[in-house]
Amino acid sequence: MLHQTQVERVIPKYESWIRKWPNWRELAQASRCDVLTQWSGLGYNRRAVFLHECARTITEKYRGQLPRDPQLLQKLPGIGPYTARAILIFAFNMPLVAVDTNIRRVLLHEFGWPADTSRADLQALADKLLYHSDPRKWHYALMDYSRLALPKQLAAIPSLSHQSRFEGSIRQIRGEIIRRLTIKKAVRRSTIARCLGRTANDVDKAVNALQCEGLVTTTGQLIRLREE
């Protein structure tokens, strides 16, 4: 939920999610529509589908217990090297380092390294600096340090990636399609175009992307959530 989403937006969603599905088994039994409804407002709906698929794999293959092996974690839907490390650090306090945007900026600032320093070099530096007695607290400390003590200094360090503007984007159309499909079984392309004031071509691009991700199916003008 925190990936590319502000903490303030995530907290109420997370609390609501955990109340509804407190463990992997209960989440695995949910419908895709229920999962997307609960996720609504966080954006990047594919993350919700990945999490749902993870729950089913963990329930069926690992008896409801999340693996603690980074290689096994990366075999789960939507989990790459960074996310695998982050899970093991924050869930299990394992002695690993996950260099996110904030930690990257702190390291560059404190050591006076250039902004184009490679990920590998930063990872190697962070690995040497890790406080092994409490890795989770080490990460929290650097994240808080970046946010509370160095916001002005770190603002000058460019991010490796930039989130595109939401308003008027294809992402906005995708989000509206999914939102409507959590309420109704089908929605017409022309309805989406009209309500957002977008072209039919833009709506087609959004629909095609959702189809490629396995989220929707279409029949002519009608769009539906893809059945699991």
Residue 134 confidence (pLDDT): 97
Same structural domain, 148 and 174: no
Which tokens go with 149?
Answer: 């003590």
Give pLDDT, residue 161.
65
pLDDT tens track for 111-163: 999 999 999 999 999 999 999 999 999 999 999 998 888 888 777 787 776 66
pLDDT digits (tens, 9 = 90+) for 197-217: 999 999 999 999 999 988 999
Q: What is the mean pLDDT of residues 96-107?
A: 92
Last residue within a domain, chosen from 62, 92, 122: 92
- 88 and 23, same structural domain? yes
| Position 162, amino acid | H
Which comes out higher in pLDDT, residue 6 or 27? 27
pLDDT reported for residue 152: 81
Question: How many domains does one find in the chain?
Answer: 3
Cα angle 9, 13, 18; round to 5? 145
Rounded-to-integer distance, Cα 212 and Cα 173, Å? 15
CA-based R_g, the chain, Å: 20
Rounded Cα distance, 208 and 70, in Å:
33
- Residue 160 in any domain: the answer is no
Confidence of residue 67 (pLDDT cuts 50, 70, 90): very high
Over 90: is that where the pLDDT of 228 sits? no
Angle at 17 between CA 68 and CA 185, to 5 degrees: 115
Could you report how far apart the first and last alpha carbons of the chain are, in Å? 22
Average pLDDT over all residues of the chain: 92
- Whether pLDDT at 65 is above 90: yes
> Which residues contact residue 205 at a Cβ distance below 8 angstroms, ignoring those fewer than 6 apart?
170, 173
Share of the chain above pLDDT 70, in %: 98
- pLDDT(219) > 90: yes
Q: Summarize the confidence of residues 62-70 as an average pLDDT.
A: 95
Same domain, 31 and 87: yes
- pLDDT confidence of residue 157: 81
Greater confidence (53 vs 165) lies with 53
Long-range CB contacts for residues 175-180, cutoff 8 Å, separation at least 24 = 175/43, 175/45, 177/206, 177/207, 177/210, 177/216, 177/223, 178/36, 178/40, 178/45, 178/210, 178/215, 178/225, 179/40
pLDDT digits (tens, 9 = 90+) for 68-96: 999 999 999 999 999 999 999 999 999 99
pLDDT band at 164 (very low <50, low <70, confident <90, very high): low
Mean pLDDT within 16-34: 96
Q: Give CA separation, 133 vs 69, 90, 104, 137, 200, in Å.
A: 19, 14, 21, 9, 56
pLDDT at 92: 96
- Does residue 161 lie in a domain region? no
Regarding whether 44 and 27 lie in a shared domain, the answer is: yes
* Angle between helix 101-111 and helix 135-148 axes, rounded to 10 deg: 70
Q: Are 176 and 196 in contact (CB under 8 A)?
A: yes
The CATH number of the domain where 178 resides is what?
A: 1.10.10.10
pLDDT at 109 over 70: yes
Question: Based on the domain organization, do 118 and 195 belong to the same domain?
Answer: no
Q: What is the mean pLDDT of residues 26-41?
A: 94
Structure tokens at 185: 């079984």
